[in-house]
Amino acid sequence: MKQFAVVLFSSTAAVLAAFLSTAPLAFGSHGNGQDGRTNFRTWRMAPSISSAWDPALSNGATIWDNVLNQCHDFQQVTSTNEHTLLYKVDNYDGKFGTFALVWTNHAGMAFDGAETWHANVNANPGGSSLDLWSVAGHEFGHVLSLAHSGHFSLNSSNPTMANVYDYGLTYFRSLESYDRSHEQNLYPPGSC
């Protein structure tokens, strides 16, 4: 494992700050979801993303759908109607820079094409690859308007919304109590 931590959004933090939002903005369609939840948010993959990425991206969204008493649900769609578009951008700041980002209006999520992405949900990434499931889970947290947690050390008890992440790690594949409690604070039961 590399002995450094890459801070998400660190290399272009001043520029990217304009793209991030702390207000709960929704995207995609709203109304009663298929499972009876009040709000659902739709997303789809751009044609530039390989279908091999689908399970990892879906799992990244699903970790947030499993929070107790939540009032939202992510739903993947294939239509071109209103939705958040996930796509891969070639070299927007190069390897070891910003891994991924979400736009302020949550109309897009981008993954840096210069990075080596591990999309296999049934295996762990090597030390030189980024776990797509983990990074997608973090970015879907931003879609819900969750900010970084303030955790700057690399350890398996870090929340998914931690400020740091590194190659070869998978512990962002699940939520910690910090993530769940902050989501519930932002979207309290009965507020939807």
Ordered DSSP codes for 39-74: EEEEEEE-TTS-GGGHHHHHHHHHHHHTSTT--EEE
- Global pTM reads 0.77
Q: Report the DSSP beta bridge partners of residue 131.
A: 118
Q: Please state, for a pLDDT cut of 70, what percent of the chain lies above it.
A: 70
Lowest-pLDDT range of 34-43, 83-92, 98-107, 133-142: 34-43
Mean pLDDT of 100-123: 86
Answer yes or no: is pLDDT of 180 > 50. Answer: yes
Identify the DSSP state of 132: H
pLDDT digits (tens, 9 = 90+) for 15-49: 233 233 222 222 333 333 444 444 667 788 888 78
Say what the alpha-carbon torsion angle 33, 141, 123, 1 is, to the nearest 10 degrees.
180
Residue type, 155: N
| Report for 35-44, 83-92, 160-169: range of highest mean pLDDT | 160-169
pLDDT mean across residues, the chain = 74
Helix (H) or strand (E) holding 6, with range, is: strand 6-7
Confidence of residue 90 (pLDDT cuts 50, 70, 90): low
Residue bearing the bigger pLDDT, 91 or 2: 91
pLDDT at 23: 23
Residue bearing the bigger pLDDT, 19 or 190: 190
Mean pLDDT of 106-123: 88
Residue bearing the bigger pLDDT, 82 or 147: 147
